[in-house]
Amino acid sequence: MINELIASKNCRVCGLAIVIAVSTSVSVYLLTNQLFDKSDSHVITTDLFAGANVIGSRASNSLQFVTIFTQHGNSAPYVTYDNYLYNVNDTRVWPNGPNQLTQSVFPARSQACPRFQKAQKKSLENFQEQNGSKMTAVLRLVQNLSGIDVFNHQLASGSPPLLDSMWMLWESIKHADNEGLVLPEWTKSLYPEPTRNLVAKMTRACSGESITAIRLFQ
């Protein structure tokens, strides 16, 4: 799932737009607000980040920390389905393969802050509880329309299989769309919505759902 973005060699630098660059409060704000439908009431507001960046009484208001992540070049999805139209191993479509085009700047998951990992786990559990039925419905629709087995794809992220399956679906579609490739007919019923909105919420849950998580991530 989204942890593929921040796990050493599995890292995929992605504006999600792609998934997917997630980092500090600045990056998370830009990313999730780009992915969310503007009418969605859950779009992250600056109030959340104001609470996460409280300054001392002697400090002045100034830019504290900025990170910018972007995707460049023709980079394939991290993984695709065996019978997908644009398979990740097809060098005619993806000459650079599936790995990131620049080195990861994030620590391996095993080196991440234990408190952040705990906050992240709780956030992802809440996300799955609230959106699990919606993700299952989308994946079942894909399976019925395409004949592709999209369930139970466990990546190296350690995330729940349902979240990994949703992320794999997003990567397969979004990267092809970014490259201007013709999308399969079955994608029209689920892309960009509701897939985009679900992935945006999942991204937020993974990186910046709470003030505590944002502080620890910085």
Four-point Cα dihedral 150, 154, 157, 161, nearest 10: 70
pLDDT (average), residues 127-141: 95
In a domain, 122, yes or no: yes
Residue 162: count of CB within 10 angstroms of its CB: 18
In a domain, 145, yes or no: yes
In a domain, 106, yes or no: no
Instruction: Say if residues 34 and 15 touch (Cβ distance below 8 Å).
Output: yes
In a domain, 151, yes or no: yes
Model confidence band, residue 157 (pLDDT cutoffs 50, 70, 90): low
DSSP string, 47-91: HHHHHHT---TT--------------S----S---TT-TT-TT-T
Domain that holds residue 35: 2-98+112-217
Instruction: Say if residues 6 and 192 touch (Cβ distance below 8 Å).
Output: no
In a domain, 107, yes or no: no
In a domain, 188, yes or no: yes
- In tens, the pLDDT along 31-69 reads 444 555 554 544 445 555 555 555 666 666 666 666 555
In a domain, 105, yes or no: no
pTM: predicted TM-score of the whole model, two decimal places:
0.66
- In tens, the pLDDT along 162-184 reads 998 999 999 899 989 988 899 99
Total number of domains in the chain: 1
Residues 6+ apart with CB under 8 A from 29: 44, 46, 49, 208
In a domain, 88, yes or no: yes
